[in-house]
Amino acid sequence: MVNMHKARKAQTISTDAVVGVMLFVTAAILLFYLAGPVAKNRQADHLRQEAERLPSLLSSEQNLTTVLISGSQANPGNVESLLEDYENLKEILGIDAEFCVYFEDENGNIVPLQGRVGMGSSLVNISGMTCNASVYG
């Protein structure tokens, strides 16, 4: 009779251990799933939405303080004044992602802004060059 009681107790402990391990493994898989591809897809979607929104914000006639482009022409006064304070421009536009403003001519060549490739975040590369890199070397 004593042996039966010990056997049941041992069986209960091993069942609890198996259930605990299964819960741990399930939680770990769920955590890696949510932190992995799903999170990256959400971040990519957010960046894509901001990238699509930025050109219209910079050329919108509704907000005259941030208009950099009117039709197909750049507004030089606004370009230089707004792009000097990148963090302020991000705040005005409501963009939290890093970006770079640069111009191309009709042939696709980069048009320098104040001697630089573009103006914005140094984390952004344009044609293999850092956004704020000097075009003169």
Q: What is the pLDDT of residue 27?
A: 81
Residue 116: exposure state from Cβ atoms within 10 A (0-12, 13-18, ≥19):
buried
Phi then psi for residue 96, to 5 deg, are -105, -10
- pLDDT confidence bin for 112, thresholds 50/70/90: confident
The model's pTM is 0.53
Query: So where are the chain's domains?
Result: 16-130
Asked if residue 101 has pLDDT above 60, the reply is yes
**Averaged pLDDT of the chain:** 73
Q: Across 3-7, 28-32, 38-42, which has the greatest mean pLDDT?
A: 28-32
Of 131 and 65, more confident: 131
How many C-beta atoms lie closer than 10 Å to residue 82's C-beta?
21
CB 103 within 8 A of CB 74: yes
Q: Average of pLDDT values for 88-114?
A: 82
SS3 70: strand
What gap in Å lies between CA 28 and CA 65, rounded to an integer?
A: 49
Asked if residue 100 has pLDDT above 80, the reply is yes
Q: Average of pLDDT values for 60-78?
A: 58
